[in-house]
Amino acid sequence: DADVTQTPRNRITKTGKRIMLECSQTKGHDRMYWYRQDPGLGLRLIYYSFDVKDINKGEISDGYSVSRQAQAKFSLSLESAIPNQTALYFCATGGTGTGTDTQYFGPGTRLTVL
Amino acid sequence: QKEVEQDPGPLSVPEGAIVSLNCTYSNSAFQYFMWYRQYSRKGPELLMYTYSSGNKEDGRFTAQVDKSSKYISLFIRDSQPSDSATYLCAMTETSYDKVIFGPGTSLSVIP
């Protein structure tokens, strides 16, 4: 089984709809991240969480919200989706105490907003 | 100016070639440098990790960091078709800071 899973893997929705992307991990890591990837722009950080009670905005948090339901679960919501939120979304985890910020990525969710 | 810039590619080389992938950055506080490899329709995976300046070798891969020039490189020797992927450089100030990624370079190794 994959260490970091994302659901759904693909989603097509319409402008104005509320969407939730979910991420679960079995690595036991404290840190979790949400990124979006766009061609030519690379990975951009949306939100990150260093533990269950910690939520931080990243580079591009406007239009997004997150919830850290448990150490293993971190969900991303688009309250009112718009077409320029069409992108590939990745969840990642990182462990403390390793001395590095190695991040382990999920397989991604391809979101299309019409 | 973007904080991390990377050769845009795409790069296409014949099998067996030496590949050089490069990134430049503007933040002199970056100390931890990473290369991630991303296959099509997959999430990125860590390939190489280097702290501060110097070289690190792992099999056919060598990572170089030149902090004085704010320049990092990944060399792939004897490239294989299985190396075809997008390569993302990444860096951070401390081991627990946010990681800043470059936009990625797409590499195709032709048999």
Q: Which of A40, A92, A99 sits opposite B95 (nearest CB)?
A: A99
- Chain A positions touching B45 (Cβ under 8 A) are 104-105
Residues in chain B whose Cβ is within 8 Å of chain A: 6, 8, 32, 34, 41-46, 49, 88, 92, 95-99, 101-104
Q: Which of B88, B95, B103 sits opposite A100 (nearest CB)?
A: B95
pLDDT-based confidence at residue A39 (cuts at 50, 70, 90): confident
State residue A7 phi and psi, 5-degree precision.
-135, 145
Q: Are A56 and A66 in contact (CB under 8 A)?
A: no
Residues in chain A within 8 Å Cβ distance of B49: 100, 102
Mean pLDDT across A74-80? 96
> Is it the case that residue A96 has pLDDT exceeding 60?
no
For residue A66, with 0-12 CB atoms within 10 Å meaning exposed, 13-18 middle and 19 or more buried, which class applies? buried
Instruction: Indicate yes or no: CB of B32 within 8 angstroms of CB of A101.
Output: yes
Top pLDDT among B57 and A1 is at B57
- A94 in the Ramachandran plot: left (φ > 0), alpha (ψ -120 to 50) or beta? beta
Which residues in chain B are closer than 8 Å to A106, comparing Cβ atoms? 43
Kind plus residue range of the DSSP H or E element containing A5: strand A4-7
Is residue B13 helix, strand or coil?
A: strand
- Encode burial over A13-30: b for 16+ CB neighbours within 10 A, e otherwise: beeeeebebbbbbeeebb
**Under-50 pLDDT residues of chain B:** none
A114 or B97: whose pLDDT is higher?
A114
What is the reported pLDDT for B62?
97
Closest to B87 (Cα-Cα) out of B2, B3, B16, B10:
B10
CB nearest to A48's CB, from B34, B45, B98: B98
Tokens of B66: 């030149």
CA distance A19 to chain B (A): 21
